[in-house]
Chain A
């Protein structure tokens, strides 16, 4: 499942996508993210039939990821995002 966390408002679209088929719940993204955007939960709330942990965007961060992620996203010379790099499974994607 492609789980898109984030929102669209008057200024644009801000979504972090977690591919739950690829995610194994290892928690590397949780440790890497300087803004603590990710959490790992034991039960996927979007897929009650899934067994095993999965990463998701923390509830209190979901509606402000534009600002939470901003320090990692300079407008010029943007380095690779730490969360995207840390995920060995390639499950994390950013829309902006």
Chain B
């Protein structure tokens, strides 16, 4: 008897994109940034500091393989051979496992630089909510980090925590933000100390008759509070930008912004690629310093 496949509510769509305006053949330097996160992998291909193509996919259980797969995914729509790459920078949680990388740079430096690119040079505070950590970064107009704070010890307030809730409540992860606003009255937040506690608290709330939407709202608020406590420690200076997958979750960011009292910067780029963009930009800067691979 065939086993019925359980729907995967946490799963989001993988995408790749190619710029129609840039001709890579004319570019002097082709640089690649591969951001292997704990949950997602992005490979960004840049031609002379402009985004040529990118791919965004799930990491899976094998970092070296997902780095390679991510790169192939990004290059899929281009007709560029891999040997044309001048410099490749690995970043993110799995950066030491990127076999094609010439250098590893932490995601903190890359996210600041990437946010500077995708949101503009007026960004001073960057919040990156990743799969397993939250990073609050302050940077200058060049995207250089001036202060950073990271919490990677605990999953509370991270993307993974949100996936756990999406799965528990059977709500597709992309709908969490919208659904969390479909409540008559904003419920109080659940525990923000620990995802495991929050989950058991939520199960209890469902039993006493809370709707799915109310529980989602309570968890989104808990996440916003948790993120705020990290930001509060570092201080927030405008402009404020959010990178990473959580930037797409209106339920959390919409509740976080009134606490800070600011409007988040807007962009047309995919917020998840910020780390990869930063890595590729560092690759470009290093190439200009004469540290590229050299044309074979």
- Chain A positions near chain B (C-beta within 8 angstroms): 1-4, 7-10, 13, 15, 45-49, 63
Contact between A46 and B108, CB atoms less than 8 A apart:
yes
In the bound complex, residues from chain A placing their C-beta under 8 Å from that of B154 are: 7-10
B113-169 residues at the A interface, CB under 8 angstroms: 144-154
Q: Is the CB of B149 within 8 A of A4?
A: yes
Given the known interface contacts A7-B153, A9-B154, the answer about A46 and B233 at a Cβ–Cβ threshold of 8 Å is: no
B interface, size bucket: 20 to 34
Which residue of B has the minimal Cβ distance to A10? B193
Complex formed: what's the CA distance from A47 to B144 in Å?
8
Contact of A46 among B145, B151, B152, B153 (CB under 8 A): B145
Query: Within the complex, which residue of B146, B151, B152, B286 is in contact with A1, where a contact is CB–CB below 8 Å?
Result: B146
Q: Is B200 an interface residue (CB 8 A)?
A: no
Tell me which residues across on chain B come within 8 A of A9, comparing CB atoms: 153-154, 193
B226-265 with Cβ < 8 A to chain A: 229-230, 233-234
B145 touches A47 (CB 8 A): yes
Our pick among A2, A48, A63 for the contact of B147 (Cβ within 8 Å) is: A2
CB distance from B71 to the nearest CB of A (A): 20
Q: Which of B144, B153, B194 has the largest count of A CB atoms less than 10 A from its CB?
A: B153
B58 within 8 A of A: no
**A7 CA to B150 CA in the complex, in Å?**
7
Question: Would you call A10 and B194 a contact (CB within 8 A)?
Answer: yes
Q: What separation, in Å, do the CA atoms of A55 and B106 have in the docked complex? A: 15
Contact, CB under 8 Å: A15 / B149? yes
* B residues at A contact (CB < 8 Å): 103-106, 108-109, 144-154, 193-194, 229-230, 233-234, 282, 285-286
What residues on B are CB-neighbors of A49 within 8 Å?
A: 144, 282, 285
Chain A residues with CB below 8 A from B103, complex form: 48
6 A–B pairs (Cβ distance < 8 Å), ordered by A: A1-B145, A8-B233, A9-B154, A10-B194, A46-B106, A48-B109
A90 to chain B, nearest CB (A): 17
In the bound assembly, the distance between CA atoms of A80 and B258 in angstroms comes to 40
- Point out which of A4, A7, A8, A63 has the most chain B C-beta atoms below 10 A from its C-beta: A8
| Residues of chain B with a CB closer than 8 A to A8's CB | 151, 153-154, 229-230, 233
B153, A63: Cβ atoms closer than 8 Å: yes
Q: How near does chain A come to B117, taking the closest CB pair, in angstroms?
A: 15
Q: In the complex, A3→B135 CA distance in Å?
A: 12
Which B residues touch A1, using CB under 8 A?
144-148
- CB-defined contacts of B234 to chain A, threshold 8 Å: 4
Q: Which of A7, A15, A45, A46 has the most CB of B within 10 A?
A: A46
Residue among A1, A46, A47, A48 with max Cβ neighbours from chain B (10 Å): A48
Contact B151 A7 (CB under 8 A): yes
Q: Which residue of A lies closest to B113 (CB)?
A: A48
Give the docked Cα–Cα distance between A33 and B242 (Å): 37
Instruction: Identify the 7 closest CB pairs spanning chains A and B, nearest first.
Output: A7-B153, A2-B147, A10-B193, A45-B106, A4-B149, A63-B153, A48-B105
Contacts of A46 in B (CB 8 A): 106, 108-109, 145, 148
Q: Hey, which chain B residues are within 8 Å of A15, CB to CB? A: 149
Q: Which chain A residue has the least Cβ–Cβ distance from B146?
A: A1
Docked complex Cα distance between A64 and B152 (Å): 11
**In the complex, chain A residues whose CB is within 8 Å of the CB of B230:** 8
Closest to B154 in A: A9
Q: In the complex, what distance in Å separates the CA atom of A43 from the CA atom of B151?
A: 22
**Chain B residues with CB under 8 A of A45:** 104-106, 109
- Within 8 Å CB of B148, what residues of A? 1-4, 46
